[in-house]
Structure 1
Amino acid sequence: MKPDPSLAQRNLFLLHHFHNDVAKALHEHMREQRRRGEIPPYRVEPTPSGLPTLVKINESQRIVLHTRPSPLAPMQAIAQELSRQPPGATLIFSCGLGYLPCALAPLLNRMKVIVLETDYDILLEALRMNDWGAIMPSGNLLLLAGKNAMEEANILISKHGSLLKNGIRFFPGRILLDEETPTFTSLQTIARESQEIFNYRITSNLQVKKGSYAIVAGHAHKELLSVLCEEAGHVNMDARPVLRRPAVTQFVQTPEMWWESLGRPLPAKLLTFTNKAFLPSEWDKMKAFGIRRFLWCYDDPFRATVDDTFFHHLDRIYCFDPFLTKRLQKQSPIPVHFLPEATAFSEGAVGPPPWDIPSTLPVTFVGSTGLQRQDDRLPRLVSSRDPSYLTIRQFVLDALAKDERIHYDELMALPVEFPNFHKSARVVLLEDLATFVVRLHFLAALVNTPAKIFGDQAWLEPALVGDISRIYAGRNLDYLRQTPWVYQNSKININIFNVQCVNAPTVRIFDVMACGGFLLTEYRPFTEELFRIGVELDVFHSHEELREKVIYYLEQEEQRERIARAGQERVMREHRFRHRLPLIFAAE
């Protein structure tokens, strides 16, 4: 039974629009699968009812994952049963081919539904075989997918007993394998315990603990969040990690959710890296309790809509770039301060390489093309030589030909349109495409050198990057586990800025130097303000200078190591999170 390509395309479009983080992870999984030449272990087969079932091929075994007479009938029976019960929450353990999630579409106006699918291959088959159009846009649907899905479900259920006030029901979305049953049962146990804890806590008073702090981030930055809190501990600050995924925030929306997330007693001050971590009503409740709310913009804040509501729920904003800080200050009714990024690394990795790779790398660049942050539409826009891309490309190349930096305001004013993207994505698209052109320009100088690029799979595509594809290392890096080793063991680390780093160091600057790596970076005026050029790092201004300095420093081992040591000492002394966090939390 063949899937309908147009149905899959519609579902994937909806997934990108309403569950973007899941969509990006699914696309990355598909790209990696194609790169490795892997074949998913699932087959879609017909049943007597005419509807497909899913079969898992496991060595010599064939395991049927939906009942053969009629895969839809048992799921419709579950939906009918739920329609007769009071409103509550429902967790579907594995979406299967999507029969149960889609059968619950009429109930989504009165019920919250969590779809938990750890296997991207099953999710993809579900999007190919069933129409998700009636459920995907609903705010009462939460899709947890991939290797972290089970952990996210555990945190959601254990942390937010308020979600379970009206009860929660658990149903498998397909026939479960024997090894999956204990996990399914454990989720039910966690839910019962969470309800009991919530019933106890709801009767006690909320209190704020003076001198305590909370740092908020999403699940993708869980490990980094732990490092931030450890760094706060080094300067005697009691900081707790708070995991908040924006999709979960929008889904739960109970009056108690904010204090369930923050924990008890409540922190006196809170730092977040996105103002979307909490709902407007939650920010207001924090204010009522006297909790000070700080935002640290680690990326261009104008990638989001900056209006009155952007500032209304905060007490103070910090921004990584002085130029963007001034732009925010012109609009902001609250204090906005420049605060550079910082490193989470304390030293380079020790021990053997994290995978099969030479123990020393001559020249490396670690960074993305920026083309795969959205979906496949952006690579298609570039490869098709879309007029909007060509306009941006010419603008960037003209500036580089004059040895000038990209003028941010002029870039934003370019007369280009992106009809296939939502209008809110315009700043992101302009910045990502301009950065892509800048990186192509400089990296072309390294094609005939022993350089290697670590980053997304778009670096592999000659249609997008030309001859630069020849120096792609074939992999992305795990930020906390693999990147430090590469930085430490590369003779030369290249940095090429995102264009939104108008005059600010990217975190890569600090990370490379913290690991004891030698850094050769694209020039920005700040490099002379924060570091000693030629002593703690070195810079290049042009395509030609980059190539000349790479050739030079490959032969100057003693000078490289001396600069690297001096740079590491400077960063360890001045540019760690333990140096930044007291500046934030000291504010009143």
Structure 2
Amino acid sequence: MRILFSSYHNPSFWTITEYTEKTLMKLGHELIPFDDRAFIIPDRLRRNARFLQNWDLNRLNRRLFSLASATQPDLCLVAGGNRILPETIQKMKSQGIQTALWTIDVPRSFQPVLDAAPSYDFIFCGGTEAQKLLSEAGIPNTHWLPFACDPEVHQPADVDSEDRKKWGSEVSFVGSFYPNRAQVLEKISDFDLKVWGPGWDKLAKNSPIKKLCSDARLKPEEWIKIFSSSLVNIVIHYQDGKTPCFQAAPRVYEGLACRSFLLVDDQRDVKSLFQDGKHLAIFEKPEDLKKKIAYYLNKPEERNRIATQGHEEVVHKHTYVHRLKKMLSVIEAGG
């Protein structure tokens, strides 16, 4: 199948985009990539001038349609969807091109997706919060397609004493700064904790975790060493009190694929896919997190058992090969 894949290539690290492209080619499909953030006007200007934003967005959509017209793919798969206009999808369909949307982002600015969603032939949702919002908007026929891991990339790392000294700690967190994450991590600052990821320079100067943070954009070969060198790895999903977020973030699957012990916040989709105490452990409040960290630090055999079972579960059921095969089988069957 010839597949035109519209998504965003982050220049700093691999995301769902690269793993999806790699998997589609691995499955034998012809890939035609399109970067849906290839704006020519800088973001700081577009943010302050709506006409510039509209001009550049329309230019981007014309480029996507021109590429589709020139290559005539069997399928146009759009990841995210915030920047692809309804008329672009409709014009591709008028040329006999099937179209599919895979929502992947936390729905903080979801209206463009709601506007375009009725135009697609198929809709897949990375989190059930997107299914809920689409259903409330009168778009019920969606498919839940969670994120995944790539075992060829996400796997236990061979770490020596120097690696453990550099990357390891009793407790680690890998991910971007968000206020809700900082609030939780500040409650566990009395543990041997290291925090890694972009944006942590935004912390208040008096934050108890200020000196524990490395403001860094890590490559996979670096953060898998963190997961492989740390005893307890924390996953905290984005929450702002307004935006629904039920999804299991990519880091859940990736951490499990590294055979790491994960302590994950109480997310609906995580609990639908994995068993608490069997594949990972779940915490509800910061006080619960503190208790569970202390408990599991003193239970190495239990940690290792859970990490091993989580690894087996994720590599046998939750890889990008599983996800893309499922997506394409739904499309080939007509929904």
TMscore range, shorter length = 0.7 to 0.9
Q: Deviations over 1:15-45 (max 9, x none)?
A: xxxxxxxxxxxxxxxxxxxxxxxxxxxxxxx
Matched, 1:342 2:148: yes
Matched, 1:272 2:102: no
Question: Does the CA-based 8 Å contact 2:197-2:218 persist in structure 1?
Answer: no
Residue 445 of structure 1: aligned partner:
187
Cα displacement (A) at 1:266: 2.3
- Match of residue 536, structure 1, among 268, 272, 279: 279
Shift of the 223–446 alpha-carbon distance from structure 1 to 2, 3 Å rule, reads closer
- Match of residue 361, structure 1, among 157, 162, 169: 169
* Larger RCO (CA within 8 A; separation ≥ 6): 2
Cα displacement (A) at 1:307: 7.6
Work out the CA distance in 2 between the residues paired with 1:255 and 1:362: 48
- Match of residue 229, structure 1, among 16, 21, 39: 21
Question: Does the CA-based 8 Å contact 2:2-2:73 persist in structure 1?
Answer: yes
Q: 1:126-205, aligned counterparts within 5 Å?
A: none
Question: Does the CA-based 8 Å contact 1:315-1:334 persist in structure 2?
Answer: no
Cα displacement (A) at 1:525: 4.0
RMSD over aligned Cα, in angstroms? 3.2
Residue 289 of structure 1: aligned partner:
95
Specify the SS of the correspondent of 1:454.
strand
Residue 467 of structure 1: aligned partner:
208
Q: 1:55-66, aligned counterparts within 5 Å?
A: none
**TM-score when scaled to structure 1?**
0.47
Residue 23 of structure 1: aligned partner:
none
Cα displacement (A) at 1:255: 9.6
**TM-score when scaled to structure 2?**
0.79
The structure number with the bigger radius of gyration is 1
- Match of residue 249, structure 2, among 502, 506, 522: 506
Cα displacement (A) at 1:342: 1.8
Specify the SS of the correspondent of 1:220.
coil
- Match of residue 477, structure 1, among 217, 223, 231: 217
Residue 128 of structure 2: aligned partner:
322
Q: Deviations over 1:434-472 (max 9, x none)?
A: xx2x32442123111101111234456334x72222322
Cα displacement (A) at 1:485: 2.1
Q: Given residue 362 of structure 1, which amino acid in structure 2 is its aligned partner?
A: E
Cα displacement (A) at 1:492: 0.8
Work out the CA distance in 1 between the residues paired with 2:211 and 2:61: 54
Question: Does the CA-based 8 Å contact 1:460-1:470 persist in structure 2?
Answer: no
Question: Does the CA-based 8 Å contact 1:516-1:565 persist in structure 2?
Answer: yes
Residue 395 of structure 1: aligned partner:
none
Cα displacement (A) at 1:520: 0.8
Q: Given residue 471 of structure 1, which amino acid in structure 2 is its aligned partner?
A: L
Work out the CA distance in 2 between the residues paired with 1:356 and 1:337: 41
Q: After the TM superposition, which of the residue ranges 245-254 and 264-273 deviates more from structure 2?
A: 245-254
Work out the CA distance in 2 between the residues paired with 1:287 and 1:219: 25
- Match of residue 226, structure 2, among 468, 486, 489: 486
Specify the SS of the correspondent of 2:302.
helix
Unaligned runs of 5+ in 2: 41-54
Unaligned runs of 5+ in 1: 1-210, 371-435
Residue 241 of structure 1: aligned partner:
33
Residue 168 of structure 1: aligned partner:
none
- Match of residue 301, structure 2, among 544, 558, 563: 558
Shift of the 570–244 alpha-carbon distance from structure 1 to 2, 3 Å rule, reads same
